[in-house]
Structure 1
Amino acid sequence: MAFRKLLTGWAVASTACVLSVAHAASLSDPATAASAQASASSSLSVAHANAQGDASRTAGTPLVSGPLGSANVPRIALDDAYLPVVHADMNEQIIHIPVAGDPSVTLETTVYRPDGPGPFPMVVFNHGKIPGDPRMQPRSDPMSFAREFVSRGYVVVAPNRQGFAGSGGTYQQDGCDVASNGLGQAADVATTVDYMAKQPYVDANHIVVAGTSHGGLATMAYGTEAAHGVRALINFSGGLRQDACTGWQNNLTEAFGDYGAKARVASLWLYGDNDSVWTSDLVTRMFAAFHTAQVGEAQSGAGAKLVDFGSYKNDAHRLVGDRDGVQVWWPKVEAFLAGQGMPTAQEYRVATQAAPHASGYASIESVSAVPFLDQAGRDGYRNFLKQYPSRAFAVSDSGAWSWAEGGDNPMAVAVANCQKHSSDPCRLYAVNGNVVWSNDTATAQNDNADDGHAVAADDADNSHALASR
């Protein structure tokens, strides 16, 4: 099965944006000073790639000649506070992309973008597949991933493929044929790229396609017939696990081999050692099958690189959905994209919700200090204390509670889930390693660590990322 080929001949659009900062001692000669004021030089130049992907100016190259052009000017480090700010929602828009051949079927798609008319480079992010009915899967909303790319001037597009979330159509399993499954999913990726590349705010000549888990498989399948403006593929822990199929590991490995033989675009593969879905041996086999087939077919410009980023928290498979994971994957992605002629410099600052300051109400280890909780709630708080540092615990006056760990915003998740069980407002009690609760009366009277209850790091409930009552 092959998905339909995309139309070629898109108009190439690109913009050039140069940020210049200069610093020099005062000039005593008025004529020289006037010349210096009229001719800006730069100790730091940041430029978009042009339509061919070549940098229009290298860092440290003067923009024009003048008295500062050859001066020994110290480089000024720019803090992101000086960058233009994009609202926290990143101009989020939910659109419905019609499927070619049947416009009555649409793909529910979330679009994030910087401020302004563009055109901007684009990255398409392909979601994974959770167990159960795909229609019950939440709308793809990769906030941590999107924030990193929007801050670098990209439009981020997150489609839900057919049969998932609010999209029309049905999910096609294709039995145990993994290669066909991936190509079928890639058809929706192609539909998305084709549609979005025609939007006036998208630079159709600078496109990246990325995906996680099942979306990583779809991404690599799409690479067999990628549109001409697609310069890079990013595969986060990609594949499709089919435990009901005998020899599913071999089926998956062979599928990647098929894709490698037809690959047209350079790809970066990121997998971790403690992935709950793929063993390290299987990852090695999948990549070897792809790379060997690719080399055998001598696909021009379509290199592939595998990055083993080691262990991540309790499951490497959650990397790209976690805000904490950005510091792991972005440096590798940044170097890869730069090599493909894609921009990587930060151009915007995306507003984010800051964690509340420590209130001094109690020690975070003090279970008895948490107000309004019954015994089940205190057990829940003990479990909260075992989680990774990106965590939040919320409670209401009526005793409802919830904690969340990881993801993009555990504070919002904890409060929202607590609120589902309470008619009273839920408030944050603890965030990360601090108690942030406060009232206008006094600090907690009992500040003992845990009322004698030990906190076991290997408790069975420690694997949960969300709990509430």
Structure 2
Amino acid sequence: MTTALRLLGLCLLLLISDARAAQLRADLHESVSTIDVTVKDFYGKQETGKVAITQFSPNGEGPFPILILNHGRATSDRGTPPRFRYTRQVAYFLKRGFIVFVPTRIGYGQYGTAFDPEYSGKCRRKDYVPMIQAARIEESAVLDYAKRQPHVDPHRIVIVGQSVGGFVTTSVAAENPDGVVAAINFAGGSGGDPATHPGVPCESDRLEAMYQRFGKTARVPMLWIYTQNDQFFAPQYSSAWHAAFVHAGGNAEYKLFPPFGTNGHFLFGNGTDIWEPTVSAFLDREGFSR
């Protein structure tokens, strides 16, 4: 095979891959929009970036309660995936009657990773405040966008987040946004790295202090889900963060699941059938029964 034919074949494979990536799930009524948001990074540099919002809608006319689903932070390639979708988890929330919005925050996905407002410094010199401030601004813009959409109930909103997304979710809950009535934190935190310091997050005391500050103002009922073998945030840290949050005034149930696979940090993504009953019970208590 000539070099030209090999290149042509490669181009065709890339085009097919891009086409598949662009396909939308009709059965989930999937659509994509973008909004422009201006934030600052760790160094104080300010830029305007695009937040891609993938929307999934249940059948019917609504009005549907809103669910915002926040992703975590990739440890290597922040450009993958091009946008976050979580279709398996979304399908569960759609069955619960939610219209779901999954934002891909600035610094991730197809709109570029050169500007990274969620970088928080080296491990021994972490400052998590700038990343949370940037994420809060983006989340506020996403909430405003979601409330303006047709067929939604802007007064019944649940926020859910995984890993850094759980950290972000807790910080947003601390602001008690209008319409947000419950929140779920899956393995929330930051600064973890299973390869270099398994289970031990960077500057855990700073994270604990931030969770304490969140607890002073948060009045939204929350569910926190962690596992015994989380290789990013071991139970001694997540339980301390929860204690700091609750003792400061926050309202959160802490659920520690048994070990899951080789790294329980990925329970949200790979153990849907395990966490669904706990989440369903929480949603039922908060008035989101099917």
Q: Provide the TM-score with structure 2 as the length reference.
A: 0.78
Q: From 266, 276, 279, give the equivalent of 2:231.
A: 276
**Does 2:182 align with 1:232?**
yes
Query: Which residue of 1 is the match for residue 87 of structure 2?
Result: 143
- Alpha-carbon contact 1:183-1:221 (below 8 Å) kept: no
**Aligned AA for 1:171?**
D
State how far apart, in whole Å, the 2-side matches of 1:220 and 1:167 are.
26
**Aligned AA for 2:83?**
R
Query: Which residue of 2 is the match for residue 304 of structure 1?
Result: 252
Residues 246 and 89 of structure 1, relative CA distance in 2, 3 Å threshold: closer
State how far apart, in whole Å, the 2-side matches of 1:320 and 1:171 are.
24
Query: Which residue of 2 is the match for residue 330 of structure 1?
Result: 276
State how far apart, in whole Å, the 2-side matches of 1:190 and 1:177 are.
22
Query: Which residue of 1 is the match for residue 143 of structure 2?
Result: 193
Query: Which residue of 2 is the match for residue 344 of structure 1?
Result: 289
State how far apart, in whole Å, the 2-side matches of 1:104 and 1:193 are.
18
State how far apart, in whole Å, the 2-side matches of 1:181 and 1:103 are.
14
Query: Which residue of 2 is the match for residue 166 of structure 1?
Result: 110
State how far apart, in whole Å, the 1-side matches of 2:48 and 2:104 are.
16
**Does 2:92 align with 1:120?**
no
Query: Which residue of 2 is the match for residue 267 of structure 1?
Result: 222
State how far apart, in whole Å, the 2-side matches of 1:145 and 1:159 are.
14
Query: Which residue of 1 is the match for residue 98 of structure 2?
Result: 154
Q: From 81, 93, 97, give the equivalent of 2:35.
A: 97
Look at both structures and tell me which one has the larger radius of gyration over its CA atoms.
1
- Alpha-carbon contact 2:38-2:48 (below 8 Å) kept: no
**Aligned AA for 2:259?**
S
Q: Secondary structure at the match of 2:62?
A: coil
Query: Which residue of 1 is the match for residue 240 of structure 2?
Result: 285
State how far apart, in whole Å, the 2-side matches of 1:179 and 1:268 are.
23
1:390-405 equivalence runs, <5 A: none
Query: Which residue of 1 is the match for residue 43 of structure 2?
Result: none
Post-superposition offset of 1:134: 2.5
Post-superposition offset of 1:334: 1.5
State how far apart, in whole Å, the 2-side matches of 1:192 and 1:246 are.
28
- Alpha-carbon contact 2:31-2:55 (below 8 Å) kept: yes
Greater percentage in helix: 2
Q: Secondary structure at the match of 1:121?
A: strand
Q: Greater relative contact order (Cα 8 A, min sep 6): structure 1 or 2? A: 2
Residues 298-342 of structure 1, C-alpha deviations (whole Å, 9 max, x = no match) = xxxx521100111112221111112xx22221211112122222x
The count of residues paired between Structure 1 and Structure 2 equals 249
- Alpha-carbon contact 1:121-1:154 (below 8 Å) kept: yes
State how far apart, in whole Å, the 2-side matches of 1:174 and 1:284 are.
23
**Does 2:154 align with 1:204?**
yes
State how far apart, in whole Å, the 2-side matches of 1:147 and 1:246 are.
32
- Alpha-carbon contact 1:107-1:159 (below 8 Å) kept: yes
Q: Which runs of 5+ in 1 are unaligned?
A: 1-86, 295-301, 346-469
- Alpha-carbon contact 2:66-2:100 (below 8 Å) kept: yes
State how far apart, in whole Å, the 1-side matches of 2:243 and 2:81 are.
32
Query: Which residue of 2 is the match for residue 84 of structure 1?
Result: none
Residues 138 and 234 of structure 1, relative CA distance in 2, 3 Å threshold: same
**Aligned AA for 2:225?**
L
Query: Which residue of 2 is the match for residue 17 of structure 1?
Result: none
Residues 110 and 252 of structure 1, relative CA distance in 2, 3 Å threshold: same
**Aligned AA for 2:283?**
L
Identity of aligned residues (%): 31
State how far apart, in whole Å, the 1-side matches of 2:201 and 2:222 are.
29
State how far apart, in whole Å, the 2-side matches of 1:200 and 1:89 are.
19
Residues 263 and 179 of structure 1, relative CA distance in 2, 3 Å threshold: farther
State how far apart, in whole Å, the 1-side matches of 2:37 and 2:201 are.
33
Q: Secondary structure at the match of 1:225?
A: coil
Query: Which residue of 2 is the match for residue 368 of structure 1?
Result: none
